[in-house]
Every structure is written in structure tokens, then in C-alpha cells.
A = this chain, B = another copy of it.
């Protein structure tokens, strides 16, 4: 799908220069760009790459001398990644799903599918489900009874959307995601070891041998507008009310959201993040890869946690966290620095002891 430089610049609201009628078919890295590609060089450090490639047009940093770079046309991007967002949306062909309903689908006659849907093979849609206009649903998707999904949904291969799940408009669901699995909630007839530990930290009375009784999940999952769920994510139903994912929030792959969790708006949960049951995550929070949040915790608005952070206690609004257990990022850095110096600190203390009390120091047994 070819676009002229003028079309692209207009779509991005960006300035352009040179031959605005020149057409490009793909975006490419500068050094690998062919003659019909738009080279992406939004930073001066990519200038060398342009010389190696064949691009006649490029997206450049503001103020770049496009003619000196040997180009015939240029688009100027004051905020490169933002321009990349617009450009990539223009150039993404999207998955191929034929319009209409594929013959090999099993769609309950009471399900309502909006106008303009494209539904691929081996899709099942249950009783009373309602799907908005222009839905694109790839192969092997299952949408259970009573699920409600807004307009312009893109649901990719093998996603599983459970009973009575409610989802807003412009939903994107990557392959293999499970929305509406049962919560992990069990109770023992008598007090369990975990219940004791929560109070005593480590003291346990006599251990009872007992089995777990299941608490069924009667709630479902509610998801706002403009949410994206990553590949192979899992989102559990709530016990009584719904597990909630707020508007504009994005989940990367393999994120796990426990039952009753409430995630706010415009929040990013990166790959393999896990949120245990009943925790609440604020708005505009960013949890980097492999972060864990304990159950029944509150993570305030605008919190940012670095990769692998394990959050055991409430985190106030705006806090920047790192570490296991999570501490302020600057505290973590200071603690790690001190820890690296620790073996040497031990020697310094031993040296002081030798000066102050040479005999007792000599007597001190080796410790471990």
C-alpha cells in the first residue's frame, strides 16, 4: 500500500519538504532501506545509515539538512516515536480475516454481531453474546455466553473470552489470551498455615492435614475502552463483583491478573507481570517486566516500578520503586552500593577491633 510523502505528513500533522508526491511502500531502517522505502532516521545518529541505504525519502529529526543527506523528500518528526505511532498505523496491513462469517463457525442464533464483522474459521460465540460493529475476530476464538464487546474490536487467534465478560470499544486482544478464567480462591475447613503466617510471620502451631475447598467465581471481568491485552495473558473473574481493567490500559504478554483486582486507566503492565487477588492498581501506573504485586495491596496513581520489583505493601501515588522487596528506587541503588562495599566494611571493623582490643579480637571465634 503506497502513500505519498504529502499524505503521510498530513496524517501525522508533520512538516515535509522536497518532492511531496514521491510514494513509499514500507518503513525501513536507514541502512536497509530500498528506493521505495521511507527511512526512519528521527535522530542524528542514524545519518550514517542513510548513506548506506537506498532511501529517497526519510522521516528526519527537526532541522535536519535533508538535501545534504542525499534525499529527494523528508518528513520532520519533532517527537520521533510519536510520529512512528502514526506512521505504523498507516502502514500496518493488519491480519487477513475475510469479511462476513466463515462457514466453519459455531455462532449461537441469539448472539448479536454488529455490522461489518469479519469472523474467521473455528470461532465459537455463545448464547446472547453481543459484539459491536466492524469486529475482526481471527480463527479459533471462543466468546462465551452473555459476553458484551464494543465496536471495532480486533480479537486474534485463540483468545478465550468468558461468560458475561464486558469489554468497551476498540478492544485489541492478542492470541491465546484468557479473559474470565475462574479465580484462585480456596479455603480450608480450619485455619490454614497461610492464615497463621500472615499474623505471626513465621510461628506456626500444630499443622493440620486438610484439603482445600473451592470458592467459585460468581463475578466476571469488566474492561474499559481502548484496552489491549497481550498474548497468553490470563485475567480471572471476580468472586462477587467483577475484576476491572480501566480505560486505555495496556497489558503486555503473559500478564496475570488475579480475581477482584482493579486496574486503573492508562496503565501499562509489561511482560509477565503478576497481580495477586484483590489488589488495586491506580491510573497511569507503569509496572515493568516480571513485577509482582502481593494480594490486597494498593498501588497509587503514577507509580513506576522497575523490572522484577516485588511489591508487598501499599505504594503511595507517584512513588518510583525497585527491588525485592520493593523500596524507593534511590534507596535501592544506595542499598546495593552499600552491599557491594559490605565485605570491605567487615574488614575495616575487624581492623578497628584489633586496635582497640587486640587480645579479645584474637580470641573471637570464626563466624559464619
Contacts and interface: CB of A to CB of B under 8 A. Distances in A.
Interface string A80-113: 0110111011011101100000101010000000
B214 A248 contact: no
A102 B126 CA distance: 13
Interface string A195-210: 0010001101001011
Contact of A207 (B140, B284, B367): B284
A363 interface: no
A168 interface: no
A145 B320 contact: no
Interface string A25-59: 01111001000000010000000000000000000
A251 B176 CA distance: 18
A202 B289 contact: no
Q: What number of copies of this chain does the assembly contain?
A: 3
Nearest to A285: B193
B193 A284 contact: yes
Given A140-B122, A320-B202, A91 B218 contact: yes
Interface of A: 26-29, 32, 40, 79, 81-82, 84-86, 88-89, 91-93, 95-96, 102, 104, 106, 120-122, 124, 126-127, 138-140, 142, 144-145, 156-158, 160, 162-163, 172, 174-176, 178, 181-182, 184, 186-189, 192-194, 197, 201-202, 204, 207, 209-218, 226, 228, 230-232, 234, 236, 239-241, 248, 250, 252-254, 256, 258, 266, 268, 270-272, 274, 276, 283-284, 286, 288-290, 292, 294, 302, 304, 306-308, 310, 312, 318, 320, 323-325, 327-331, 333-346, 348-349, 352-353, 355-357, 367-368
